[in-house]
Amino acid sequence: MIANADALLKPLTIRGLTIRNRVMSTSHAPGYGKDGKPQERYQLYHEEKARGGIGLTMFGGSSSVAVDSPAAPWNQISVADDSVIPYFQQFADRVHRHGAKLMIQLTHMGRRTKWDTEHWLPTVSASPRREPASRTVPKELEQEDIDRIVAGFASAARRCREGGLDGCEISAAHGHLVDQFWSPSVNRRSDKYGGSLENRMRFGIEVLSAMREAAGDDFVIGIRMSGDEMIPDGLPAEDCLRIATEYARRGLVDFLNIVGGQARDHIAHAISLPNMSFPVAPFLYLPSAIKREVDVAVFHAQRVTDLATGARAVAEGHVDMIAMTRAHIADPHLVKKLSEGRADDIRQCVGAGYCIDRIYVGGDALCIQNAATGREATMPHVIAKAETARKIVVVGAGPAGLEAARVAAERGHKVVLFEKEKTVGGQVNVAAKATWREALSGIPRWLHGQVLKKGVDLRLGTAATPALVAAEAPDVVIIATGGTASKGHLAGTEHVATTHDVLTGAVEPTGTVLVYDEIGGHNASSTAEALAKRGCLVEVATHDRMVAEEVGTTNQPIHLRELYKLGVVMTPNMELMEVYPEGNRLIAVLRNTMTDAEEERVVDRVVIDAGTLPVDALFFELKAGAVNRGVTDFDAMIAGRPQPWPAGAGYQLYRIGDAVAGRNIHAAIFDALRLVKDM
């Protein structure tokens, strides 16, 4: 049992609304909206948190209140007309059934959106200053625009109420329209909305006053705002505190949902959504400072990944409720597990940022380690028992094999899990060796604990052979043997080391190192950072437009920041063609992908990340004897049907994760879950 757990399990009453405990999930945009409405997938995602015991779940990050703040960019929700109300009612029923409360975030994004979607209306703001993140130059709002948008907020609040939601907040964080008016970095107006802080606060006051009028005195309305914009020309903590106390004093808000930072450019965005390179709860001091000055409830989210930290934040009085949004994406049953005394079973968020990084490239939020999140219609968070218990052999205890063993054991099967290494984790162990990527090790750590708890027969240090597998007389054999680092297809691969070689310590480069990034993932950047920290002179070359191009918006800026700090030379648009020795050094030949011009580097080491190739020898040895010839029926798997069970004595054989083709952790875990959940 964690310390102060009782502090989390106490109710909180705000304006007559009693929330059953102090754990919440903040509004975010998981990319599940459809036609601007929260439909089944969106609702099921939040219902799962409600079933899992959460007190308050807030949905609809950046839900728009006006047509010039389009809902399209991240598959968001539009509250700009009444057609959304039936969806709210259905959504609220679904969440209330499990005793949780449901609120939404309303906003006008101002300049922080796209003009080339949905209605093709120009973006608007307090002043025509370009936002780097959205790359738009907004139109300066006229008084008529302001009145229209204020009325839009009011109507949206009424729709929330009519939709049976328990409340709403407006977003004045991350650089939306309300805080665009607040922030001197955007607002250069000379009318009653600009200049002094009093004037800059006016727009927000008009918005909240109109919302209160439209929604009634018994509807909870809060605000999400920054406690410190952390940019030189932005709002300092003192001004944020003044805004918070003034809005609270005027009775405009029932709660203050405080974050740290702003999000106008790449690094600001990465800081406001802290990844695993940050300590836990890095900005807890901001809501704490505000809570001292106000008598409304204070909420806070930002890398509170574990309940112990959340419990401390509440118990010590820094906040009234702790928001664990990404923590719920990793495990929506967090509170239930805590209150049932099963805190050890909580799948803890590792802060990989996989969920949020996907939505900023137009994808849907998915958890790096929990493949059921966002797929509640087809993937179970609680695995049901199988009707027939079978004997299942899993080979390889990386994320795919561990998840397969966990799910199989939950289904009641008898599971033997072979792992040739002395520890579980597979390639995650390699990745976790690179500086701030260490927290990845939490993924296999949880899986390891679960397979042991569920009685999986884990044979560490045992390389599976056909004879060993046959000795178990299995009904099913799942090959999850992972991949080995590829050296790519350039000339002179024998002179090249891989990122795996460096991180595992197989080679220990010194002097000048060229890291070649063929994949654009974390591997090359984090290996380059590790090498630079060891004192190497490092250049990273890539054929992409920037190193780590595939890494998402909350992680790539951290890689770049660290590489710049360490003086690593980053060379985009270059393809590594050939490596050959000269004396006791190496010559690396690079080709500019745009001009075809060739350059040479004289280095001590060339390290390459060219992905992985499957370790599949055992699969092919077992394939001939398998009743299904090692074939996975994709149609059955996608439809959520059990794999066909062909007649004939013998075992079925499947292959999952990087043992099929090198991809990522989520792919490996999803492969395992969707195959085994029906087995």
Partner 1 sequence: MTPAPTLALLVLILAALAVAQALRRARLWRRGRPAHVDWLAGLKALPRRYLHDVHDVVARDPYAARMHAIAAGGLITASVLGVFGLVPALGHSPVYGALLALAFAAALAGGVMVGRRRSPVKPARLSGGRFRLVPPALTAYAGGGLLVGIAILAGPGFAALGWLGVALAAAGAAVLVYLLGDGPMRHVFAGALHLAAHPRSDRFEGGRETALHPVDLAAPQKLGAETPADFAWNRLLGFDACIQCGRCEVACPAFAAGQPLNPKKLIQDLVGSLAPGGAPYAGSPYPNARPVAGVGGPELPIVGLGAMVHPDTIWSCTTCRACVEECPMMIEHVDAIVDLRRFQTMELGAVPEKAVQPLLDLRQAEEPGGRALAARGDFAAGLALPKIQDRPAEARPAEVLLWLGEGAYDLRYGRTLRALVRLLGAAQVDFAVLGAEERDCGDLARRLGDEATFQDLARANIATLSRHRFGRILTADPHALHVIRNEYPAFGGHLEVVHHSSFLDELVAGGRLAVGDLGAALPGAVTYHDPCYLGRYNGETEAPRRLLDRLGLERREMARSGKRSMCCGGGGGAPVADIEGERRIPDLRMGQASETGAAIVAVACPTCTAMLEGVTGARPEVRDIAELLLAAVEAAPPAAAPARQRQPEPVA
What is the binding site for partner 1 (CB under 8 A)?
Answer: 1, 5-6, 9-11, 18-21, 39-40, 55, 86-87, 89-90, 93-94, 97, 99-100, 339-341
CB of 345 to partner 1, least distance (A): 14
User: Residue 94 or residue 318: which is nearer to partner 1 going by CB?
Assistant: 94
Residue 659 main-chain phi, psi, to 5 deg: -65, -20
User: Residue 89 or residue 512: which is nearer to partner 1 going by CB?
Assistant: 89
Q: Are 101 and 58 in contact (CB under 8 A)?
A: no
Q: Are 227 and 237 in contact (CB under 8 A)?
A: yes
Q: Give the E-state strand segments of 351-509 in sequence order.
A: 391-395, 414-419, 457-460, 476-479, 483-485, 497-498
CA distance 174 to 165: 24
- Angle at which helices 197-215 and 143-162 pack, to 10 degrees? 40
CB of 246 to partner 1, least distance (A): 31
Q: What angle do CA 216, 221, 225 make, to 5 degrees?
A: 155
CB of 3 to partner 1, least distance (A): 11
Q: How far is CA 170 from CA 54, 150, 263, 324, in A?
A: 21, 12, 16, 19
Helix (H) or strand (E) holding 103: strand 101-107
User: Residue 6 or residue 147: which is nearer to partner 1 going by CB?
Assistant: 6
At position 488, the amino acid (one-letter code) is G
User: Residue 7 or residue 208: which is nearer to partner 1 going by CB?
Assistant: 7
Please classify residue 48 by burial: count the beta carbons closer than 10 Å to its beta carbon, then call 0-12 exposed, 13-18 middle and 19+ buried. buried
CB of 100 to partner 1, least distance (A): 8
At position 202, the amino acid (one-letter code) is R
User: Residue 340 or residue 508: which is nearer to partner 1 going by CB?
Assistant: 340
Q: Give the E-state strand segments of 383-528 in sequence order.
A: 391-395, 414-419, 457-460, 476-479, 483-485, 497-498, 512-517
CB of 90 to partner 1, least distance (A): 5
CA distance 155 to 159: 6
CA distance 140 to 128: 5
Residue 419, token pair as written in the block: 């792992």
CB of 156 to partner 1, least distance (A): 19
Please classify residue 494 by burial: count the beta carbons closer than 10 Å to its beta carbon, then call 0-12 exposed, 13-18 middle and 19+ buried. exposed
CB of 5 to partner 1, least distance (A): 6
User: Residue 49 or residue 487: which is nearer to partner 1 going by CB?
Assistant: 49
Q: What residue has token string 């300590």?
A: 279
Tabulate helix, strand, coil % of the chain (nearest 5).
Answer: 35, 20, 45
Q: How far is CA 256 from CA 14, 171, 206, 220, 639, in A?
A: 12, 10, 17, 11, 44
- DSSP letter at 136 equals B
User: Residue 93 or residue 316: which is nearer to partner 1 going by CB?
Assistant: 93
User: Residue 139 or residue 414: which is nearer to partner 1 going by CB?
Assistant: 414
Q: Are 174 and 61 in contact (CB under 8 A)?
A: no
CB of 357 to partner 1, least distance (A): 30
User: Residue 21 or residue 481: which is nearer to partner 1 going by CB?
Assistant: 21
The side-by-side arrangement of strands in the sheet containing 457-460 is 457-460, 414-419, 391-395, 476-479, 652-655
CB of 380 to partner 1, least distance (A): 15
User: Residue 18 or residue 388: which is nearer to partner 1 going by CB?
Assistant: 18
User: Residue 258 or residue 346: which is nearer to partner 1 going by CB?
Assistant: 346
End-to-end Cα, the chain, rounded Å: 34
The CA R_g of the chain, rounded to the nearest whole Å, is 27
User: Residue 58 or residue 590: which is nearer to partner 1 going by CB?
Assistant: 58
CA distance 111 to 128: 9
CB of 664 to partner 1, least distance (A): 32
CB of 159 to partner 1, least distance (A): 14
**Selection from 63, 537, 49 nearest residue 323 by Cα:** 49
CB of 608 to partner 1, least distance (A): 50
CB of 621 to partner 1, least distance (A): 38
CB of 20 to partner 1, least distance (A): 3
Handedness of CA 436, 439, 441, 444 (dihedral sign): negative
CB of 412 to partner 1, least distance (A): 11
- DSSP letter at 531 equals H
- Angle at which helices 665-676 and 399-410 pack, to 10 degrees? 30
Q: How far is CA 426 from CA 85, 202, 423, 490, 529, in A?
A: 48, 56, 8, 27, 22
User: Residue 306 or residue 609: which is nearer to partner 1 going by CB?
Assistant: 306
User: Residue 22 or residue 559: which is nearer to partner 1 going by CB?
Assistant: 22
CB of 21 to partner 1, least distance (A): 6
User: Residue 21 or residue 134: which is nearer to partner 1 going by CB?
Assistant: 21
User: Residue 138 or residue 310: which is nearer to partner 1 going by CB?
Assistant: 310
User: Residue 34 or residue 585: which is nearer to partner 1 going by CB?
Assistant: 34
Residues across the chain: 679
CA distance 28 to 361: 15
Q: Are 335 and 55 in contact (CB under 8 A)?
A: yes
CB of 160 to partner 1, least distance (A): 16
